[in-house]
Amino acid sequence: MNLSLREQLLKAGLVTEKQAKQAERTTGDQRHRQAKGGKRSSPPPPPEPTKAAQQAQAAKLLRDQELNRKQQEKAARKARAAELHQLVMQLRVLRPESDDYFNFVDGGKVHRIQVTPELRARLVAGTLAIVRHGGRYDVVPVESLERIRERHADAIVADPTAAATTPAPAQDDPYKDFVVPDDLTW
């Protein structure tokens, strides 16, 4: 009696024909794997990046760095503007309700702010200065100009310390003998 184990199990009724075929398939797969080395083959290694892909990646990295730098600069400008605003709001001289105005030039245009006679005298004497922030003009003490200059040098509109260093009129100026007084109301 040379019956295989499969045939003996079928004859005894312990397994069905379907179960026997399935078992035969799984054992066949195992034998096949053992013959190949017992391990599944690994996927081939990814191809080396091409020169064009490397250049594109380097260009993208440069763009990202430039964008990051611009965002940091923008954040720093915003922080300086916020510091300037806070500093001016703390140090400013309150604006009076007055019909008297002090005229000054900013960016080639004449602007004016409301002042009292005392504020006008202090502006002319050089103890107060005019600064620009957020589309407004405010008057601050001269002692605070250095702190403002650190944050935003362009915010200072009328700097009395710089007025002392203004150059003398040119020799060929026909109006050099006609000096305009500082306290002139115009």
Residue 38 tokens, joined? 């017992």
In a domain, 101, yes or no: yes
In a domain, 111, yes or no: yes
Domain enclosing residue 147, as ranges: 89-163
When pLDDT is averaged across residues 137-151 and rounded to a whole number, the result is 87
In a domain, 96, yes or no: yes
**Residue 124 CB neighbours (<10 A):** 15
In a domain, 156, yes or no: yes
Q: Which is more confidently placed, 30 or 39?
A: 30
Could you give the 3-state DSSP secondary structure of residue 70?
helix
In a domain, 138, yes or no: yes
In a domain, 105, yes or no: yes
When pLDDT is averaged across residues 122-141 and rounded to a whole number, the result is 88
Residues with Cβ < 8 Å from 104, sequence gap 6 or more?
110, 111, 112, 113, 130, 157, 158
- Reported as a pLDDT band with limits 50, 70 and 90, residue 22 is confident
Residue 84 tokens, joined? 């300037």
In a domain, 16, yes or no: no
Residue-level pLDDT at 98:
83
Please give the tally of structural domains in the chain.
Answer: 1
Judge contact between 109 and 168, C-beta under 8 A.
Answer: no
pLDDT in tens, 94-108: 888 888 888 888 888
Residue-level pLDDT at 63:
95
Query: Does 29 score more than 80 pLDDT?
Result: no
Query: Does 45 score more than 80 pLDDT?
Result: no
Q: Which is more confidently placed, 18 or 32?
A: 18
Please, what is the angle between helix 5-12 and helix 17-36, to 10°? 160
DSSP H helices in 92-170: 117-125, 145-151, 160-163
Query: Does 88 score more than 70 pLDDT?
Result: yes
Q: Which is more confidently placed, 72 or 154?
A: 72
In a domain, 44, yes or no: no
Q: Give the chain's mean pLDDT.
A: 81
Residue-level pLDDT at 185:
63
